[in-house]
Amino acid sequence: MSHSIDLTIVGSIGIDTIETPTEKREEILGGSVSYACAAASFFTHTGMVGVVGTDFPQTYRDIWTQMNIDLEGLQTQTGKTFRWSGVYEANMDNRQTLSTELNVFENFTPNLPETYRDAPYLFLGNIHPALQLHVLEQTHNPRFVLIDTMDLWINIAKDDLTQVIQKCDMLTLNESEAQLFTGHHSLMQAAKTLLELGPDYVLIKKGGNGSMLYSRDDLFLLHAYPLETFADPTGAGDTFAGGLMGALAASGKTDAEAIRQAMVHGSVIASFGVEKFSLDRLQQLDRDQIEQRVQHFRNICRL
């Protein structure tokens, strides 16, 4: 019998071509579930649910295996793997998508192995909310469910997305998405409206400006870990969320204080991730380096 999974993560897997103001990298490993699982793997036993094509390089599978990510939920379909290419502007905040090829991801149906269905923690990455609902129907009462979304689903599948939000413990999205969903410019008002749909927490990501955690009776603000330079911001939000969920699963808790501490670890993992392209920096990382940066982060944030 396989070792039990503590955290199940569902999302996209891609092969990316990324150009920044200083460098261009072609055909590198990407996708939300890839970044999130890599980040979570430093803390807990994580199961990956995604799909790749028959063209997917074995070397990329080996990276996940070396990081002790469970691949029983990884599907391989005949055809090409999802591909994305984009270019970042000089400020490294704005980017332009040059091409998107869904390929096997277009017909992806996430099916959980039996060993994943009892996982107490679940992160549903940015996929169609109907698929997120499909995953939830396969689970056995997880203790804590985090979902991510994007403006596309708000525009074309808001009813399905609303159903998912009603069933999750925490919703994460960026500030423009929160404003789009609710029609409120004020993030406080937007968060209050989203909380009324049912989740206990709303986590609004603000990129290089950190994140904001809202609940019905509390607000927590967290800066991003400061970096002088970085190579590639792709996947930073997924790395943050994966690190958060991995640390939360390792704690065995779901209370507000545990979530705050998990956010600190998520922010630190994301700061490492952007120092290089793809998973290159995370592959070189160990838990001691993470905890050293966490301590430094706490020191510089103290009042």
Kindly report the pTM of this predicted structure.
Answer: 0.96
Q: Is 166 a domain residue? A: yes
Q: Tens digits of per-residue pLDDT, 46-73?
A: 999 999 999 999 999 999 999 999 999 9
Integer Cα distance of 231 and 251 in angstroms: 31
Q: Is 2 a domain residue? A: no
Integer Cα distance of 106 and 51 in angstroms: 10
Q: Is 243 a domain residue? A: yes
The residue segments making up the domain with residue 38 are 7-301
Give the CATH number for residue 95. Answer: 3.40.1190.20
Alpha helices in 16-74 (DSSP H): 32-40, 58-66
Q: Is 1 a domain residue? A: no
Average pLDDT estimate for 210-217: 95
Per-residue pLDDT at 1: 37
Any bridge partners for residue 100, and if so which? 84
Q: Is 20 a domain residue? A: yes
Domains in the chain, number: 1
Q: Tens digits of per-residue pLDDT, 101-152?
A: 999 999 999 999 999 999 999 999 999 999 999 999 999 999 999 999 999 9
Task: Assign 3 a pLDDT band (cuts: 50, 70, 90).
Answer: low
